[in-house]
Amino acid sequence: MEQLYIALDFQSADQVERFLEKLAPHRPALKVGMELYYAEGPAFVRHLVRQGHDVFLDLKVHDIPETARRTMRVIGQLGVELTNVHAAGGKAMMEAVLTGLRETSPNTRLIAVTQLTSTDQDMLTDLMIPHAMDEVVAHYAREADQAGLDGVVCSALDTTHIKATCRSGFQLVTPGIRPNGTDANDQKRIATVTDARRNGATDLVIGRAITQAKDPKVVYEALLSEWKGIKQ
């Protein structure tokens, strides 16, 4: 844990390779999401792993339990460090997915998405979810914990509620991280690196603040130093 994953919000392997050249000699932890995975496929994920990168494969698996289990068996063969499902798929699905993952990978960690960081209370109302955001997130996290998962993806604003209801050592991976003075873009529940660390986050996901920076290496090193230098 204590990773800072760079979200590879790119559409091709060539774009990724050009970006990673700018970070040399660093071999940062990377998040591969749906856009890049659907463009380049599992072979590129394996390539990144072979290059020495710890990879978070962010596909948010969400389907009936058997389909989800079989899908995770395939993901388990890619050598990634971390992957995820939607907690909204329910406890039975999460248990099935964990079973499928362990059939092919003993080491890949599995986490669940509680609510996207683009979700706010108004959206929960639109989805006919009547409870407060912190209650919904804590409930989904508790379901993931009971299903045996390693942790959840959550906003840094939700970590305190989750820590109060889940077991010690439960992984809290927080996207929506923005350095001071940068735009929120389409994220609604955001936090700084310092906020995330002090709230109990175990890992960060940072994308555009690094990938779209004029000097990505300088920004990455500064954020990594801030993340590693703050004690909870």
- Scanning the chain, the segments in alpha helix (DSSP H) are 13-23, 34-40, 42-50, 65-75, 91-104, 121-126, 133-146, 159-165, 193-199, 208-211, 216-229
Paired strand residues for 30 = 6, 55
Q: Residue 52 CA to chain centroid, in angstroms?
A: 19
- Which residues make Cβ contacts (< 8 Å) with residue 53, sequence separation at least 6? 27, 28, 29, 30
Instruction: Give dist(CA 147, CA 34) in Å, integer.
Output: 24
Counting other chains too, the contacts that 43-51 makes at CB distance below 8 Å and 24 or more residues apart are 44/13, 44/16, 45/78, 45/79, 45/80, 46/78, 46/79, 47/13, 48/16, 49/78, 49/79, 49/80, 51/27
Q: In this structure, are residues 21 and 217 in contact, taking their beta carbons and an 8 Å threshold? A: no
Site of tokens 């050009």: 18
Active site residue 60: yes
Q: Which of these is catalytic: 22, 31, 60, 163?
A: 60
User: CA-CA distances (angstroms) from residue 150 to 41, 83, 91, 118?
Assistant: 25, 10, 14, 23
Instruction: Please identify every residue annotated as catalytic.
Output: 60
